A and B are shown apart, each in its own frame.
Chain A
């Protein structure tokens, strides 16, 4: 069973701090990794896509991938209350089309 594991949280961080969200995956064959943000009652929104080892930055978001350790993380710098949401990690498990999702980590940014 291919799995993507995340701590469900909640993870609470003060406004302005760095939020660090972590994810591990079991399928060594996974090539592409995704982070989604999902606000309560809304559908997921893709915020980061990474396939190379190392860091990928987009604004206040940085995705980090370590394939040797089968570990993906998402850093959110200067966290804002509007970042409060559930963050879903996902990994492909047979090409782009078959993606396995983690259960998500709930992030709370405290003003």
Chain B
């Protein structure tokens, strides 16, 4: 019943390191997302992708980049990790059936808790 998986549940990195977070979905969803979740700030969109090799910035893209070389895989890259990037990172994928059908399918991965020291 695995739907969205993330490469690590917990990760500890040092300031300045390059960090890769991977997300894989097995539902053939076209859209994939990276969010971070912080207490008091809620979920905030970092980047999303609506197709292979396509990406769009979300609300807080600074300090991050993404890669989507295959439909099922969406990677988040922290080019040079900083302490303010300590957070819970959540990947999600969605399948939009169309507004008139009333269907919208979305699943989140289990999250990666990243600590940057």
Q: Please give the residue numbers on chain A whose beta carbons come within 8 Å of chain B beta carbons, in ascending order.
A: 31-32, 34, 42-46, 49, 51, 88, 90, 96-104
Q: Is the CB of B110 within 8 A of A43?
A: yes
| Distance in angstroms between the alpha carbons of A15 and B87 in the assembled complex | 34
Interface flags for B32-47 (1: CB within 8 Å of A; 0: not) read 0100000011111100
Q: Is the CB of A88 within 8 A of B104?
A: no
A96: nearest residue on chain B (CB-CB)?
B96
| Distance in angstroms between the alpha carbons of A99 and B42 in the assembled complex | 12
Q: Is the CB of B40 within 8 A of A46?
A: no
| Distance in angstroms between the alpha carbons of A90 and B58 in the assembled complex | 15
Other than the known A43-B109, A99-B45, A102-B42, what 15 A-B pairs have Cβ atoms closer than 8 Å? A34-B104, A43-B108, A43-B110, A44-B90, A44-B108, A45-B108, A46-B106, A88-B43, A96-B94, A96-B104, A97-B50, A97-B56, A98-B58, A98-B59, A101-B43
Q: Please give the residue numbers on chain B whose beta carbons come within 8 Å of chain A beta carbons, in ascending order.
A: 31, 33, 40-45, 48, 50, 56, 58-59, 90, 94, 96, 99, 102-104, 106-111
Main SS class of interface, B: strand
B56 cross-chain contacts in A, Cβ below 8 A: 97
Q: Is the CB of A32 within 8 A of B42?
A: no
The 9 closest A-B pairs by CB, nearest first: A43-B108, A101-B43, A103-B42, A49-B104, A101-B42, A46-B106, A43-B111, A97-B48, A96-B96
A104 cross-chain contacts in B, Cβ below 8 A: 42
B103 cross-chain contacts in A, Cβ below 8 A: 49
B108 cross-chain contacts in A, Cβ below 8 A: 43-45
B111: nearest residue on chain A (CB-CB)?
A43
A103: nearest residue on chain B (CB-CB)?
B42
19 A–B contacts, CB within 8 A, in A order: A42-B110, A43-B108, A43-B110, A44-B90, A46-B104, A49-B102, A51-B99, A51-B102, A88-B42, A96-B94, A96-B104, A97-B31, A97-B48, A97-B50, A98-B59, A100-B59, A101-B42, A101-B44, A102-B42
Q: Is the CB of B43 within 8 A of A44?
A: yes
